[in-house]
Amino acid sequence: MSATKEPQRSYLVTGAASGLGAATARYFASEGAAVVLADVQEEAVTELAEQLGAHSRAARMDVTVESDVVDALKKATELAPLRGVIHCAGILTAGRVVSKQGPHDLEAFRKSIDVNLIGSFNVLRLAAAELMQVEPDHEGERGVVVLTSSVAAFEGQIGQIAYSAAKGAVASMVLPAARELGKFGVRVVAVAPGVFETPMMQAAPEAVRESLLAQTVFPHRLGKPHEFAQFVWHICHNRMLNGSVLRLDGAMRMQAK
């Protein structure tokens, strides 16, 4: 990105310390946008923001804390007019409804819902409120909120009960939110990724990786984070994409296990 050209728009990217969020922040910065990188891992996003240059900022943000999200949005508006929020933050929780150890831990289920679902809604509501204050463009658009669902919302595997519940609910929020916010020129879209080469997947046992790879039709590989970032960039610039949950999965359909 040019050091002299001032960006015309800014974006907030959550979960930007690694994986899909970090790739999205890098890609958007490379396209000339101002970017605020938000994550609970403050040191990691600070380091990445410094690498991306003068038009990037870091924010320590817990997606479930209103003041954290408000502060991160404010940083974005200070860089350039806010045009989008890309919400990639989330956690993976595994556990069967009933295992050899007994029923699923209720607090683990609550945490998945709290971070993955309530955190998504918290970001959505505060981002929408901020975007509604933005000067609309010639077609009346103010901006877009891109949420991250998952193929697990549709084909959850055994052991994904909490994660699937949360990501399915995220997917279900998209259309009613888009219908409500459309009159203000704010779009809402969700991406449902398949399995991507992220730190989480790199840490998975080889048997798990091979099983998931076998379920991907074409290309016969795991997704690359920059492919997610490219897709989100397109969503941000194609205003006919609205109210939809878009799969990005190489025709993967996950089996029961």
> What is the DSSP track for 15-36?
STTSHHHHHHHHHHHHTT-EEE
Distance separating alpha carbons of residues 172 and 176, to the nearest angstrom:
8
Q: What is the pLDDT of residues 89-129, one digit of tens each?
A: 999 889 999 999 999 999 999 999 999 999 999 999 999 99
pLDDT at 144 over 80: yes
User: How remote is the C-alpha of 95 from its chain's centroid?
Assistant: 23
Instruction: Tell me whether residue 257 is in a domain.
Output: no
Instruction: Tell me whether residue 2 is in a domain.
Output: no
Inter-residue contact 161 to 146 (CB < 8 Å)? no
Q: Please name every residue paired with 10 in a beta bridge, in sequence order, or none if there are none.
A: 34, 82
Q: What is the pLDDT of residues 222-246, one digit of tens each?
A: 999 999 999 999 999 999 999 999 9
Q: What is the pLDDT of residues 155-198, one digit of tens each?
A: 999 999 999 999 999 999 999 999 999 999 999 999 999 999 98
**What pLDDT sits at residue 225?**
97
Instruction: Tell me whether residue 237 is in a domain.
Output: yes
Q: What is the pLDDT of residues 186-214, one digit of tens each?
A: 999 999 999 999 887 777 778 777 888 88
Percent of the chain at pLDDT > 90 equals 85
Find the CATH number of the domain harbouring 190.
Answer: 3.40.50.720
Q: Whole domain around residue 146: which residue ranges?
A: 10-248
Instruction: Tell me whether residue 106 is in a domain.
Output: yes
The strand ranges marked E within the chain are 10-14, 34-39, 56-60, 82-87, 98-99, 102-103, 143-148, 186-193, 245-248
**What pLDDT sits at residue 1?**
41
And the tokens for 40? Answer: 């609970």
If one counts the domains in the chain, the total is 1
Walk across the sheet containing 186-193 and list its strands: 56-60, 34-39, 10-14, 82-87, 143-148, 186-193, 245-248
Find the catalytic residue in 28, 163, 231, 233: 163
Instruction: Tell me whether residue 256 is in a domain.
Output: no
And the tokens for 93? Answer: 């929780």
Question: Can you give the pTM of this predicted structure?
Answer: 0.94
Average pLDDT, the chain: 94
Distance separating alpha carbons of residues 245 and 74, to the nearest angstrom:
28
Check if 27 is active-site.
no
Instruction: Tell me whether residue 191 is in a domain.
Output: yes
Instruction: Tell me whether residue 4 is in a domain.
Output: no
